[in-house]
Amino acid sequence: MRGMAASLGGAGWDVLGWNYRGCGGIPNRLLRSYHSGETGDVGRVVARAARDYGRIALVGFSLGGNMALKYIGEAGRHPAVGAVAAISAPVDLASSARALDERRGNRLYLRRFLGTLVAKTVAKAARFPGPLEAARVRRIRSIRAFDEEVTARLHGFAGAEDYWERASAGPHLAGLEVPSLLLNALNDPLLDAPSFPVEAAEANRHFFLEAPAHGGHVSFHDFRRGVRPWHEGRVVAFLEEQVPGRGDALG
C-alpha cells in the first residue's frame, strides 16, 4: 500500500489509505469485524472522501481487491468513483479458500493467515464472552473452519459456503459499469481458475482482465527498472487513462 501510494503521489494523485476493522493496530471495539464482502465500510470511506473530491479511484490488494470490485458492482455505489484497480484479488472466495487449505505449497500462507486471524479472534472472545468460544477458535486449522466458526457466525451468513458465495465479486463483474482492472498472475498460489474471469472481461467493455504469467501474490517485480513493482506503474497508467484529471485514490 505504501509503495502504491508513493507511485500515485508521484503522478499527482492524493492518496487515502484505510485499515480494516482491527487491522490498524487498534482493537476493534465491536463484536463484528471485517470480511471479504464488507462493502458498507468501503461506502462510508468513499462518501467521506467525496466531500472533498469529485473524482475517486479505488485500488485494492488481495481481499481488498475483491471488496472494491464487489462494491462498484452493487447498487448504491457512489457516483464519484470513476475507476477501480484490483491486484491479486480472489474474486471467487470458495476456490481460493480451497487453494489455501488444500495445496501443500500454501502451508506457509495458511499458517500465517490463521495465526493472525485466530489470535485476534481469541482476544475478541475474551471481550465478548458467549458468541465466541476461545477454546474452539484455538482448534481452527483451516480457512473453511475459520469462516464457518467465526466469519459466518459474526456477520450473519448461514455458513462458510454461504459467505463465500455472497461475498465474492465474481458474479458482479459482467455487469460493472465503472472501468475496472483486475490484475491476477497466473502463478498466484492463492488463486484458481474462477479468479481469472475471461468470459466476463470479454462480455463487458468496462472490465479489463490482465493475467501475466508471473507475479505470484502481489509480487509483480520488474527488475529491469530496479526494485519498483511493475503493478504500481500499470495501475497508475490505467487510472490516468480512465479518470480525467486527478482524483483521490483509496487504498
Q: Supply the residues annotated as catalytic.
A: 62, 188, 217
Find the helix or strand (DSSP H, E) in which 58 lies: strand 56-61
How far from 138 is each of 25, 124, 157, CA to CA, in Å?
21, 12, 21
CA–CA separation, 2 and 218 (whole Å): 13
Adjacent-strand bridge partners of 31: none
Q: In the Cβ-directed half-sphere of 172, how many Cα atoms lie within 13 Å? A: 24
Cβ neighbours of residue 1 closer than 8 Å, sequence gap 6 or more:
17, 61, 251
CA–CA separation, 190 and 217 (whole Å): 7
Which one, of 218, 132, 207, lies nearest residue 172 by Cα?
207
